[in-house]
Chain A
Amino acid sequence: MRVRRLRAREFRTYARLDVALGTGLTVVHGRNGAGKTNLLEALYFGCTGRSCRTSNEREVVRFGAQATHVDLDLCDADGVEHTLSVGFEPGEPKRLKADGAEVERLLDVPARPLVSVFLPDRLELVKGPPSLRRAHLDQVIAAAWPARAQTRRAYGQAVAQRNALLARIRTGRASRASLPAWDAEVARHGVSLRDHRAEACALLADPYAQAAEDLGLSGTSVLRYRPRTDAPDAAALAAELAERVDGDLDRGFTGHGPHRDEIVLQRDGRELRAYGSQGEQRMGLLALLLAEREALAEARGALPLLLLDDVMSELDPVRRAKLALRLDGPGQSVITTTDLAHVPGADAGSVCRIAVRDGAALVEPGGGGGMRFRRVPRPLGTAVEALTAELAPLTGLASVQRAWPDAVGPAIAAQAEPVAEQGGEVTVRCRSAVWAQEVELMGPALVAALNASIGTERVRSLRCTAGAGRPGDRRNR
Chain B
Amino acid sequence: MYAPPIQRLIAELSRLPGIGQRTAQRLAFHILRESDEDATALAAAIREVKEKIGTCEICFNLAEGPRCRICLDDRRDPKVICVVEEFGDIIPMERTHEFHGRYHVLGGALSPIDGVDPEDIRLAELYRRVTGDEVTEVVIATNPTTTGEATALHIADELHHVAPDVTVTRLASGLPVGGDLEYADEVTLGRAFAGRRRL
Chain A residues within 8 Å of B, Cβ to Cβ = 150, 154, 157-158, 160-162, 164-165, 167-168, 173-175, 177-178, 180-182, 184-185, 188-189, 408-412, 442, 445, 449
Contact = CB atoms under 8 A, between A and B. Distances in A.
Given A174-B112, A174-B117, A412-B114, 13 more contacts: A150-B178, A154-B178, A160-B113, A162-B112, A164-B113, A177-B154, A178-B110, A178-B112, A178-B118, A181-B151, A189-B146, A409-B114, A412-B113
B117 A185 contact: no
A150 B117 contact: no
Contact of B150 (A178, A409, A445): A178
11 contacts: A161-B150, A173-B115, A177-B154, A177-B158, A178-B110, A181-B150, A181-B157, A409-B113, A411-B113, A412-B114, A442-B113
Nearest to A238: B153
The 3 A-B residue pairs whose C-beta atoms are closest, nearest first, are A181-B154, A165-B112, A164-B112
Interface in B58-87: none
Given A181-B151, A185-B153, A161 B117 contact: no
B25 interface: no
Contacts of B96: none
Contacts of B151: 181
Contacts of B112: 161-162, 164-165, 167-168, 174, 178, 182
Nearest to A155: B146
- Point out which of B110, B115, B150, B178 has the most chain A C-beta atoms below 10 A from its C-beta: B150
B146 A177 contact: no
A178 B118 CA distance: 7
A182 to B, nearest CB: 5
Contacts, number: 70
B177 A180 contact: no
A157 B109 CA distance: 14
A189 B149 CA distance: 11
B146 A161 contact: yes
A444 to B, nearest CB: 13
B131 interface: no
Contacts of B111: 161, 409, 411
A261 to B, nearest CB: 20
A160 B153 CA distance: 17
B136 interface: no
B4 to A, nearest CB: 25
Nearest to A168: B112
Contacts of A174: 112, 117
B150 A168 contact: no
Interface string B98-127: 000000000000111111011000000000
Contact of B113 (A161, A175, A177, A181): A161
Given A161-B147, A164-B112, A177 B118 contact: yes
Contacts of A158: 146, 150
B185 to A, nearest CB: 18
Nearest to A178: B154
A304 B53 CA distance: 57
Contacts of B158: 177
Nearest to A409: B113
Contacts of B157: 180-181
A471 to B, nearest CB: 14
Contacts of A409: 111, 113-114
Contacts of B149: 185, 188
Nearest to B151: A181
Contacts of B115: 168, 173
A181 B117 contact: no
Contact of A181 (B114, B153, B178): B153
Nearest to A156: B146
A154 B154 contact: no
A182 B151 CA distance: 9
Given A154-B177, A181-B151, A168 B146 contact: no
Contacts of B114: 409-412
B184 to A, nearest CB: 17
A173 B120 CA distance: 12
B118 A150 contact: no
Given A160-B113, A165-B112, A184 B178 contact: no
A445 B112 CA distance: 11
B192 to A, nearest CB: 18
A184 B177 contact: no
A189 B117 CA distance: 21
Contact of A168 (B117, B154, B177, B178): B117
Contact of A408 (B113, B153, B177): B113
Contacts of B146: 154, 157-158, 161, 185, 189
A449 to B, nearest CB: 8
Contacts of B177: 150, 154
A408 B151 CA distance: 18
A477 B177 CA distance: 17
B18 to A, nearest CB: 12
A185 B113 contact: no
A123 to B, nearest CB: 35
- Point out which of A168, A180, A184, A185 has the most chain B C-beta atoms below 10 A from its C-beta: A185
A410 B116 CA distance: 13
A182 B113 contact: no
A178 B113 contact: no
B91 to A, nearest CB: 23
Nearest to A151: B177
A154 B178 CA distance: 8
Nearest to A165: B112
A175 B158 CA distance: 14
A189 B154 CA distance: 17
